Structure 1
Amino acid sequence: MAGATRINSRVVRFAIFASILVLLGFILSRGSATSYSLPSGLITDTSQSTGSSPKSESKPASQGSNDATELKKTYTTDGKEKATFVSLARNSDVWSLASSIRHIEDRFNHKFHYDWVFLNDEEFSDEFKRVTSALTSGQAKYGLIPKEHWSFPEWIDKERAAKTRKEMAAKKVIYGDSISYRHMCRFESGFFFRHELMQEYEWYWRVEPDIKIFCDIEYDVFKFMKDNNKMYGFTVSLPEYVATIETLWDTTRAFIKENPQYLPEDNMMDFISDDDGLSYNGCHFWSNFEVGSLSLWRSEAYLKYFDHLDKAGGFFYERWGDAPVHSIAAALFLHRDQIHFFGDVGYFHNPFNNCPVDADLREERKCMCNPKDDFTWKGYSCVPEFFTVNNMKRPKGWEAFSG
């Protein structure tokens, strides 16, 4: 009966969320990431800005828990991790991305001076480089995406793909008729971590245009991940738009059947499926915010999984997003306590807010957000499910913001 209750509640959640998507329509200017034009070349270059590295105290560690109150927060800037922010952007995004950079720098990076990698399918303009490099406290690097990472692979039937786009446009599926959005989803799913500018790094934080960070982050997020054996971190989780991923789970199940060795016993299948893997419940981590280990995407398991998905053609024959692809992979290939919910960051990407509901935490971190706008504990959020399946304690006061 418990399983049936979970499934029934998920059906209700999907119904509510589907209604919201219809109302939002094309208000979402960037979905789970930005859309782009077609590629133009292969050159990369770098420019840099500099900053000093002030020192502060380090605090002791504890490991092996998903409860944020038991996890280590590292405050030192000595011996920084091999980490970078990474932004996929167009030249026209310069001012909306400048705002995002300022949020990150003011709330976090002015203390730690981590690098920024900017990637584009066409050459970055001098204005883009001048504006963004002036705002970053770490080194700013600018890379061009290889054409083979931003184009139709040879095995894709372009006529079939065009038919899909036409059908999705008629059904008013968000980005359903977009070619560039599909290239973006495929690139973020399988190639961003392979770019030459990313090779020196072990950790990344994905940043998109027009995001906001509401709370001060006094600890080194990358050291926190490493010291607590975390591999993937998120702020928002919600159900995916089912019309965009109709065969994604069947394709995934075929991969699992052929490669069961990649799934640890304590994986998080119960977060993404309510019936022991027969179906996908749609829950995914919203990938416009990701803090993670690049070793996850460079692993044999993920590389083979992505290749399996890529050959199936769903990025073009449907509209598979990088968010469900990353989320399914993290849930299946990681130990469950390697996935972390950043409930203390305070994050906004249109149209959802993550705002700490704990008043003491908001005051301590100088958060500039209204907890009434928080999406985390609403009925159509998947974060409550994440806490439930991992037996985690919910933050103080969450009930008041669950309506």
Structure 2
Amino acid sequence: MLMLVRNWELNGALKSMRSLEDRFNRDYHYDWTFLNDEPFDDAFIEATTAMASGKTQYALVPPEHWNCPNWIDEEEFEKRLQLMGERGVLYGGTRSYRNMCRFNSGYFFRQKILEPYDYYFRVEPDVEYYCDFPYDPFKVMRRNNKKYGFVIAIYEYEDTIPTLWDAVEEFIEDNKEIVDMENNSYDFITDSDVLGVFTSIVDSNSDYNLCHFWSNFEIGDLNFFRSEKYKKYFEHLDSKGGFYYERWGDAPVHSIGASLLLNRDEIIHFDELGYYHNPYYTCPTSHNMKIQQRCQCTPHKNGHVDIDPNSCLMRWWKNGAGKTFLKYDQ
């Protein structure tokens, strides 16, 4: 389990840990790894160690992996910060949020403390897991050759990524040998057709439909992110400066990268898992599943996003690996 967190977020970290331990990790005792751009204090280490059923470890992110690179024009960056802040763009006026997004996009998997691991389960402070896990998702990933797993897919705010797709199209054009258009999920991130009663709630200015996997919950194969093809993809995007001059989030960066560089069958939707991160949640709709997994959530209430107009999940069912009701072996 991997958490990027600060000392002042201790209460939120403990809330998430307690929920995930009770719903999953108490039966498996997987390690917890905590990353911070500042040293963890003794109170944080003591409390999180007590909450974990497995080993805990703590690491300081190197400044060169966290801070704004020196080739970014600081004067131009400050102008963009002020302008996006004044326009009310979500986190548009925040320097630290940009550092976090760039780190999660291109550097989290390079941390030395993660070298012994093949998979990670990203955990955010102040989230909740609504249901007992019916299986070990790490084993599901390994046994079924899955490289990226998600629970929620929604639309991105276009104001944060106005030129991201331009950079992606350049990457595709220059790297056709590593982008398998026959078997990847390109259609998931470009389809804007009517689905059932829903038309797309956004009117994108590019071929990108703004769909992304909500990366505050993701379970991934670290070796995919460590691969030369993903690093080449990230470095191309990074060279454009959009993490700072705009406000490119790690969610669309991860999602587009996985959609382009992975076979669609290497991406899995964990539709049996209940999860909440403000303001959205996902909850199994099967009554029997909810009873068996002791779920504490109600489908189709405010915030339940699975088949909400703001959800891209139906586009994944149509253009990705589809929807399955398979119970994986534990």
Structures share fold, TM-score greater than 0.5: yes
Residues 1:346 and 2:262 aligned together: no
Residues 1:360 and 2:294 aligned together: no
Residues 1:209 and 2:92 aligned together: no
Is the 2:264–2:321 contact (alpha carbons within 8 Å) kept by the matching residues of 1? no
Match of 1:192 in 2: 108
Match of 1:274 in 2: 191
| Structure 1 unaligned residues grouped into runs of 5+ | 1-84, 396-403
Query: Aligned partner of 2:144: which letter?
Result: N
Superposed structure 1 runs of 4+ greater than 2 Å apart:
390-395
Question: In terms of Rg, which structure is larger?
Answer: 1
Q: For residues 386-397 of structure 1, what are the structure 2 equivalents within 5 Å?
A: 386-390=316-320, 392-393=322-323
Is the 1:284–1:327 contact (alpha carbons within 8 Å) kept by the matching residues of 2? yes
1:264-321 per-residue CA deviation (whole Å, 9 max, x = no partner) reads: 220000000138xx61100000000010100111011110111111111000000000
Residue 392 of structure 1 deviates from its aligned partner by: 2.8
Is the 1:155–1:311 contact (alpha carbons within 8 Å) kept by the matching residues of 2? no
1:9-65 per-residue CA deviation (whole Å, 9 max, x = no partner) reads: xxxxxxxxxxxxxxxxxxxxxxxxxxxxxxxxxxxxxxxxxxxxxxxxxxxxxxxxx
Once residues 250 and 60 of structure 2 are traced to their aligned partners in structure 1, the CA distance between those partners, rounded to angstroms, is 20
Once residues 315 and 192 of structure 1 are traced to their aligned partners in structure 2, the CA distance between those partners, rounded to angstroms, is 15
Match of 2:23 in 1: 107
Query: Aligned partner of 1:389: which letter?
Result: N
Once residues 359 and 388 of structure 1 are traced to their aligned partners in structure 2, the CA distance between those partners, rounded to angstroms, is 24
Residue 251 of structure 1 deviates from its aligned partner by: 0.4
Once residues 380 and 100 of structure 1 are traced to their aligned partners in structure 2, the CA distance between those partners, rounded to angstroms, is 25
What secondary structure, in the 3-state scheme, does the structure 1 residue paired with 2:177 have?
Answer: helix
Residue 393 of structure 1 deviates from its aligned partner by: 4.3
Once residues 176 and 217 of structure 1 are traced to their aligned partners in structure 2, the CA distance between those partners, rounded to angstroms, is 36
Match of 1:295 in 2: 223
Match of 2:170 in 1: 254
What secondary structure, in the 3-state scheme, does the structure 2 residue paired with 1:100 have?
Answer: helix
Match of 2:199 in 1: none
Match of 1:312 in 2: 240
Which deviates further from its counterpart, 145-154 or 323-332?
Answer: 145-154
Task: Tell me the number of residue pairs that the alignment of Structure 1 and Structure 2 aligns.
Answer: 310
Which deviates further from its counterpart, 357-366 or 172-181?
Answer: 357-366
Match of 1:79 in 2: none
Match of 1:98 in 2: 14
Once residues 159 and 227 of structure 2 are traced to their aligned partners in structure 1, the CA distance between those partners, rounded to angstroms, is 29
Distance 1:187 1:391, change over 3 A: closer
Residue 218 of structure 1 deviates from its aligned partner by: 3.5
Once residues 107 and 190 of structure 1 are traced to their aligned partners in structure 2, the CA distance between those partners, rounded to angstroms, is 30
What secondary structure, in the 3-state scheme, does the structure 2 residue paired with 1:262 have?
Answer: coil
Once residues 115 and 272 of structure 1 are traced to their aligned partners in structure 2, the CA distance between those partners, rounded to angstroms, is 34
Distance 1:393 1:188, change over 3 A: closer
Once residues 327 and 390 of structure 1 are traced to their aligned partners in structure 2, the CA distance between those partners, rounded to angstroms, is 12
Is the 1:355–1:369 contact (alpha carbons within 8 Å) kept by the matching residues of 2? yes
Once residues 288 and 327 of structure 1 are traced to their aligned partners in structure 2, the CA distance between those partners, rounded to angstroms, is 12
Once residues 248 and 381 of structure 1 are traced to their aligned partners in structure 2, the CA distance between those partners, rounded to angstroms, is 21
Match of 2:265 in 1: 337
Match of 2:145 in 1: 229
Once residues 386 and 322 of structure 1 are traced to their aligned partners in structure 2, the CA distance between those partners, rounded to angstroms, is 19
Match of 2:89 in 1: 173
Once residues 157 and 290 of structure 2 are traced to their aligned partners in structure 1, the CA distance between those partners, rounded to angstroms, is 32
Question: Which has the higher relative contact order, 1 or 2, with Cα contacts under 8 A spaced 6 or more apart?
Answer: 2
Once residues 149 and 182 of structure 1 are traced to their aligned partners in structure 2, the CA distance between those partners, rounded to angstroms, is 12
Residue 394 of structure 1 deviates from its aligned partner by: 7.1
Once residues 285 and 246 of structure 2 are traced to their aligned partners in structure 1, the CA distance between those partners, rounded to angstroms, is 37
Residue 390 of structure 1 deviates from its aligned partner by: 3.5
| Structure 2 unaligned residues grouped into runs of 5+ | 193-205, 326-330
Is the 1:203–1:294 contact (alpha carbons within 8 Å) kept by the matching residues of 2? yes
Aligned match for 2:314, one of 373, 377, 384: 384
Match of 1:52 in 2: none
Once residues 151 and 362 of structure 1 are traced to their aligned partners in structure 2, the CA distance between those partners, rounded to angstroms, is 44
1:191-233 per-residue CA deviation (whole Å, 9 max, x = no partner) reads: 1111111111000000000100011114211011110111100
Once residues 208 and 158 of structure 2 are traced to their aligned partners in structure 1, the CA distance between those partners, rounded to angstroms, is 10
Residues 1:145 and 2:75 aligned together: no
Once residues 140 and 56 of structure 2 are traced to their aligned partners in structure 1, the CA distance between those partners, rounded to angstroms, is 23
1:163-182 per-residue CA deviation (whole Å, 9 max, x = no partner) reads: 11111111101110000000
Distance 1:382 1:293, change over 3 A: same
Is the 1:211–1:349 contact (alpha carbons within 8 Å) kept by the matching residues of 2? yes
TM-score for the superposition, normalised by structure 2: 0.92
Is the 1:246–1:318 contact (alpha carbons within 8 Å) kept by the matching residues of 2? yes
What secondary structure, in the 3-state scheme, does the structure 2 residue paired with 1:392 have?
Answer: coil
Residue 183 of structure 1 deviates from its aligned partner by: 0.2
Once residues 310 and 39 of structure 2 are traced to their aligned partners in structure 1, the CA distance between those partners, rounded to angstroms, is 40
Once residues 249 and 321 of structure 1 are traced to their aligned partners in structure 2, the CA distance between those partners, rounded to angstroms, is 13
Overall identity of the aligned pairs, in %: 48
Which deviates further from its counterpart, 213-222 or 93-102?
Answer: 213-222
Residues 1:86 and 2:2 aligned together: yes
1:69-119 per-residue CA deviation (whole Å, 9 max, x = no partner) reads: xxxxxxxxxxxxxxxx10000000111110100111100001111101000
Residue 388 of structure 1 deviates from its aligned partner by: 1.3
Match of 2:203 in 1: none
